[in-house]
Amino acid sequence: MASAAISPDVLAKYEPVIGLEVHVQLLTATKIFCGCANRFGAEPNTNICPVCIGLPGALPVLNEKAIEFATLASLALNCEVRERSIFARKNYFYPDLPKGYQISQYDKPIAENGWIDVPTADGSMKRIGITRLHMEEDAGKSLHDGFSDSATRTYLDLNRCGTPLAEIVSEPDIRTPDEAFEYLTRLKEILLYTGVSDCNMEEGSLRCDANVSVRLKGAPKFGTKAEVKNVNSFRFIRAALEYEIERQIEVIESGGRVAQETRLYNANEGRTYSMRSKEQAHDYRYFPEPDLPPLIVSPELLSATSKKLPEMPEARRVRMIAEYELSEQDARTLTASREFADRFEAAAKTARNPRRVANLLLSEVAGRLKALDLEPEQSPVSMGGIVLAADLLDEGKISSKQLKQLLDVCFEKSEDFGTVYEREKPQQITDASALEKLIDEVIAANPKQVEQYRAGKKTMAGFFVGQVMRASKGQANPALLNELVAKKLEA
């Protein structure tokens, strides 16, 4: 953590200003400008060709799927898509960039002016602007460790050269590390829903750099910003920002000036270190890429792509909360991934009572998964099994106690609900006279409750149903039991 030297009063005088730059690898089968496979984890330097490693004379050809994915992501992030955007060369030397330049977009990116709404501390929503989304190619990777001579040598793996990227730059609208965390969480969720990236941070498919500065509250101008790079989880980004904000306030409070620089976050130590002074855009000598024509996103392509946009996670939550009478938290659980939400809704539609499917999934099934530390995908009970259970419950063919017992068996034996139900076929007492006998006993044993019922407290019926159900060891047919209890109490 940062030094505890700054008092809360001093901290409160300042306002942080945060902007985020996120690089996402697009899930195309091949690279952005050549036919090499775009795949993580291949043997080093096997998915390369003259184009992606920049041999003289090799010419880039733009991957159509990459355009579609960049357009889809732009629309999902509420951006305006430019009909004619321009690729530019960003010139710099680094060993993992053998071409000596990166093909990117500069003053005419494919999309601009988008936004994401994020929840804030007081529960309201705040709109964070997205300045731009542009396309570019990834560089290769320098491998600094893992080899016997890593102390003296660096190895290069150029497989990643030419992987298609979308860079998404936010406006400096973010004011707290928590807002930054929420922005990233929502951004990732939206990108996953569109299917343009797997957003796997461990494999580097999603990477984030943060620009952060502080200023006195109410000051008209932004302070000097530092860029924090190479942070590999959203939690670490929040921690890095917390550290960096305090560090900058400390510098200013002690009479110093914040340097414009790039800093690296060390997660083990929980602090950032200066890496290099920050380069300016003009250092890169951007110029239009002479080997590529302007990128045209025609109105036809735009409208075809917009038809591929799925319902976005936030909108889906709002709809599902209304449709299935869910809490916000339950809606979040059900929409955690598009695939899961799709499976749930497809199944729920076939049930007599879709809300009951949601309830069973969120209570009985989720509870058992949690107890066993299993992911939803590892559940022995399929969505179809949950629908069957919900229908049987709805039709009164099993009691809720029997349902719980059947689910216990499913999880014990790792079997689906249908299999267990067919085998165990729980006994039900559907003989009215047998049930009436039990009801009479319960009524006789609880005169006070009978009095309350007859005095007008009709909800007391539930008490009697519960008592008789228990006396029948959960085997009473629920529908018949309800009917008979009402009849007996009214008699």
DSSP secondary structure letters along 38-70: --TTPPTT-S--TTTTT-TT------HHHHHHH
Q: 51 or 76: whose CB is closer to Zn ion?
A: 51
Neighbour-count burial for 289-302, b at 16+ CB within 10 Å, e otherwise:
beebeebebeeebe
Q: In whole angstroms, how close is the CB of 420 to Zn ion at the nearest point?
A: 53
Pair of tokens at residue 160: 């990643």
Taking the alpha carbons of 119, 122, 124, 129 in that order, is the dihedral positive or negative? Answer: negative
CA distance 326 to 364: 15
Residue pointed to by tokens 């529908």: 479
Q: Which of 67, 38, 61 is nearest to 135 (CA)?
A: 67
Q: 164 or 172: whose CB is closer to Zn ion?
A: 164
Q: In whole angstroms, how close is the CB of 104 to Zn ion at the nearest point?
A: 17
Q: In whole angstroms, how close is the CB of 36 to Zn ion at the nearest point?
A: 3
Q: In whole angstroms, how close is the CB of 47 to Zn ion at the nearest point?
A: 7
Total of residues contacting Zn ion (CB under 5 A): 5
Q: In whole angstroms, how close is the CB of 90 to Zn ion at the nearest point?
A: 19
**CB within 8 Å of 178: residues ≥ 6 apart:** 121, 238
Q: In whole angstroms, how close is the CB of 50 to Zn ion at the nearest point?
A: 7
Q: Is residue 6 at the binding interface for Zn ion, with CB under 5 A as the rule?
A: no
Q: 16 or 60: whose CB is closer to Zn ion?
A: 60
Scanning residues 18 to 37, which ones bind Zn ion (CB under 5 A)? 34, 36
Q: 45 or 113: whose CB is closer to Zn ion?
A: 45
Q: In whole angstroms, how close is the CB of 162 to Zn ion at the nearest point?
A: 5
Pair of tokens at residue 10: 């001093």
Cβ(214)–Cβ(17) under 8 Å?
A: yes
Q: 51 or 334: whose CB is closer to Zn ion?
A: 51
Q: Is residue 42 at the binding interface for Zn ion, with CB under 5 A as the rule?
A: no
Applying CB under 5 A, among 18, 24, 26, 52 the residue interacting with Zn ion is 52
CA distance 415 to 442: 37
CA distance 163 to 359: 43
Q: 136 or 364: whose CB is closer to Zn ion?
A: 136
Contact string (CB under 5 A) for Zn ion, positions 72-111, x = contact: ----------------------------------------
Q: 52 or 214: whose CB is closer to Zn ion?
A: 52
Applying CB under 5 A, among 49, 156, 301, 302 the residue interacting with Zn ion is 49
Q: Which stretch binds Zn ion (CB under 5 A): 46-54, 173-181, 250-258, 436-444?
A: 46-54
Beta bridge partners of 153: none
Q: In whole angstroms, how close is the CB of 135 to Zn ion at the nearest point?
A: 17
Q: 60 or 177: whose CB is closer to Zn ion?
A: 60
Residue 73 amino acid letter: A
Contact string (CB under 5 A) for Zn ion, positions 212-251, x = contact: ----------------------------------------
Q: 45 or 337: whose CB is closer to Zn ion?
A: 45
Q: Which stretch binds Zn ion (CB under 5 A): 9-17, 52-60, 214-222, 236-244?
A: 52-60
CA distance 347 to 341: 10
Q: Which stretch binds Zn ion (CB under 5 A): 41-49, 143-151, 180-188, 351-359?
A: 41-49
CA distance 403 to 399: 6
DSSP secondary structure letters along 439-453: HHHHHHH-HHHHHHH
Beta bridge partners of 166: 24, 135
Q: In whole angstroms, how close is the CB of 58 to Zn ion at the nearest point?
A: 9
Q: Is residue 66 at the binding interface for Zn ion, with CB under 5 A as the rule?
A: no
Q: Which stretch binds Zn ion (CB under 5 A): 42-50, 69-77, 87-95, 384-392?
A: 42-50
Cβ(429)–Cβ(402) under 8 Å?
A: no
Cβ(77)–Cβ(133) under 8 Å?
A: yes
What is the chain's percent helix, strand, coil content, to nearest 5? 40, 20, 40
CA dist 310 to 37, 206, 375, 395, Å? 27, 21, 24, 35
Q: Which H or E run includes 212? A: strand 206-216
Q: 52 or 73: whose CB is closer to Zn ion?
A: 52
Residues that bind Zn ion (CB under 5 A): 34, 36, 49, 51-52
